[in-house]
Structures are given as structure tokens and as C-alpha cells.
Amino acid sequence: MSKYTLKEAGTQIVDGIFTKNPVLVQMLGMCATLAVTTSVSNAIGMGLAVTAVLICSNIFISLLRNFIPRQIRIASYIVIISGFVTAVQLLIKAYLPDLDKSLGLFIPLIVVNCIILARAESFASKNPVLPSAVDGLAMGIGFTFALSVLAAVRELLGSGTLLGFKVMPGFYEPAIIFILPSGAFLTLGCLIALMNKVMAMQKERTRRKAAAAANITLPEEPAIHMTEEESVVDPVEPDDLAKTEEKSEEKEEK
């Protein structure tokens, strides 16, 4: 087994936030994403709760990956995840009652969050403990980042506030659509389009750097090339030219 390095950990973090962002790229966890992003405080609270469950469940599943029978692995993952979700919910109830009231049913629904199940199945069950813990942290940060940006836009434009503080000028009329589900879909679509554009530009920049390093000229737009036969103009015979002149003279006389 190769040694896990800081470079690999850094790559995982970058992937979780940008390249493989669970919301803006993989489009997982849409239920919580659209429901709790009416304010930044709710988004951060949900993001941190999911991050805690992701890290703990990834570590535990990675430790037990060789002991869980394949036939019942999904049920086993849900049991493990539900234990950590219950612990997180009790902590939120005890120390953050206002957040618990705001998030409501969406805290227990973390149990069946697609992001947590996906990382358990595709990564934690196949990798050692440390990479699995970093994967949980990376995906949790990416989830929290996406929720926070979405919530910031919705709260700012829909309520004129940010983290509960009024930041828009007095003459600003809040756009109610942004605090409605339709506004959540609209804002999320714009963020996904922006992420796709940024990733496409980054890929193009990387491709050009690699080509420049290898002294390779990138292909330009394909030019139209004519064969020698196509480029040769048929010669005009003298008799044909004379007949054409006679016809034009007859037309002029008429």
C-alpha cells in the first residue's frame, strides 16, 4: 500500500470543493440544498452537521469495510449513519435550539442524504481510514460552500439581509421570488452554469499550458483545402466566346 501524502489530501480537498462538488457538479442532496438555503445561518448549520456525519461515518465504515457482508452493506451503512445523525441532532438540540427549530425535519433526513451514502459506497468502503476521513471532510466543505453561496444570494436578494443583518439600502425592494422554491431552482441553475463555465475555462488553460510545455501547436479552425482538380478553372474556348458575343449583340439590336 502506497503512503498517503499531503499532496493527495490537498487534491481531495480541491476536488471536494470544486472539481467534484457534491451540489454544483454531482448534484446530490438537492432536497436539503433547496429547502434550507433561505438564510446563510441555516445553510452553514446544515453544512456543518452533514460534514460531521460524513467524517465520522466514513471513518467507521472504512474501519469495518472488511467485515460488512456485501449483501447487506447499504442497510449497514444506514444504521451507522443514523447513529451519528442522532448524536449530531441531540447536540444541536442541546446547544443550538434555534438552529434545531429552523432546520426541523431536515436534520434526521441527513440519514438518507445521497452524499453520505454515495461516499460510503464509492470511497469509504474501498479505502483506508485516513483518506476516507479526508474525503468526508472535503465533501463536507464542498457541500457547506455550495449551500452558503446559494443561501447568501437568496437571503441578500430575497430579504435584503445577510446573516440576519440588513445590508441592502433602504430603497431596495426585496425580490420575494428568491425566498420561494422557484427562486431556489433559478439561483441553483445559475450557480451550476457558472461552475461549468469556470471548469471549462480551467480545462482549456491546462490544455494550453501542457501543449506549450511540449512545444505542440494546438489545432486551429479547420481550413477549406481544394484539390488541384477543383482549383483549376475550365478554359473558355474561342468559339464559345464568339457565340456569346453574337448573342449579346442580337439582344442589343432587338
Q: Is the pLDDT of residue 224 over 60?
A: no
Give me the chain's average pLDDT, please.
Answer: 85
Answer whether residue 94 is part of any domain. Answer: yes
> Domain limits at 85?
7-209
Distance of alpha carbon 180 from alpha carbon 9, whole angstroms: 38
| Predicted pLDDT at 236 | 47
| Predicted pLDDT at 16 | 92
136-137-143-147 Cα dihedral, nearest 10 degrees: 150
Range with the poorest average pLDDT among 139-143, 165-169, 222-226, 250-254: 222-226
**Degrees (nearest 5) of the Cα angle 132, 201, 6?**
30
Number of domains in the chain: 1
Answer whether residue 98 is part of any domain. Answer: yes
Answer whether residue 229 is part of any domain. Answer: no
Answer whether residue 160 is part of any domain. Answer: yes
Distance of alpha carbon 220 from alpha carbon 212, whole angstroms: 15
Cell of 32: 436539503
Q: Is the pLDDT of residue 233 over 50?
A: no
Read off the pLDDT of residues 8-43 as tens digits, 9 standing for 90 and up: 899 999 999 999 999 999 999 888 899 899 899 999
Q: Is the pLDDT of residue 89 over 90?
A: yes
Answer whether residue 96 is part of any domain. Answer: yes
% of the chain exceeding 70 in pLDDT: 84
Distance of alpha carbon 87 from alpha carbon 109, whole angstroms: 13
Answer whether residue 148 is part of any domain. Answer: yes
* For the ranges 107-111, 219-223, 242-246, the one whose mean pLDDT is highest: 107-111
Answer whether residue 226 is part of any domain. Answer: no
The β-bridge partners of 161 are: 166
**Degrees (nearest 5) of the Cα angle 63, 64, 65?**
100
Instruction: Report which of 202, 197, 195, 201 is spatially closest to residue 20, judged by C-alpha positions.
Output: 195
Q: Is the pLDDT of residue 237 over 60?
A: no
Answer whether residue 46 is part of any domain. Answer: yes
